[in-house]
Amino acid sequence: MLYVKALHVIFIVTWFAGLFYIVRLFIYQVEANEKPEPDRSILIKEYKRNSSRLWFGITWPSAILTLIFGTWVLSYVPSYLSLGFMHIKLGLVLLLYVYHFLCHRIFKSLQKDEYKYSSQQLRVWNEVATILLVGIVFIIILKSALSMIWGLAGLIGFTVVLMLAIRLYKKVREKNEKS
């Protein structure tokens, strides 16, 4: 069982790496769309190619293998499903898969040169995976020792700090672009 658990963790890591980087590539592609030619065409072509390789070569396979190995781990210890912390963890994992599918929609739109989101909106979107990661890790490590109220307060506080950091980054970036 430890090998299966190790594989589950490995594919969680590669899945998150893919999710973090794919949205970064979305941001770069949106920003490249605002550049003059020929830079615009060259950059967009490269970002589309890199996004496609990452999405279908790493992120999707990792999401699928995470699900397979996670289900396999649960089949070894079915009593976990009766524990409250596992319901919360699986709820957050479900939200992570929803996030993944929404990223897939953004991916498909950008591949068709449909730009629905600004780079700033995508920067905020990029942090959703971070928030889910923090929630999942704390739930699975602390289990029942985690008070629901403190856990929720901590997650909300973490989210607020991330959003403030995004705003600060935007101000610094705008200041640097003006100088």
> Can you say which residues are annotated as belonging to the binding site?
8, 89
CB atoms within 10 A of CB 129: 20
- Provide the H-helix boundaries in 55-147: 60-76, 84-111, 119-142
CA 140 to chain centre: 18
Residue 77 three-state SS: coil
CA 136 → CA 49, 89, 106, 132, 152, distances in Å? Answer: 31, 6, 24, 6, 12
DSSP state of 145: G
Q: Please give the annotated binding residues for heme, written as ranges.
A: 8, 89
Q: Would you call 151 exposed, middle or buried from its count of C-beta atoms within 10 A (0-12, 13-18, 19+)?
A: middle
Closest CA to 7 of 85, 91, 64: 64
Inter-residue contact 51 to 104 (CB < 8 Å): no
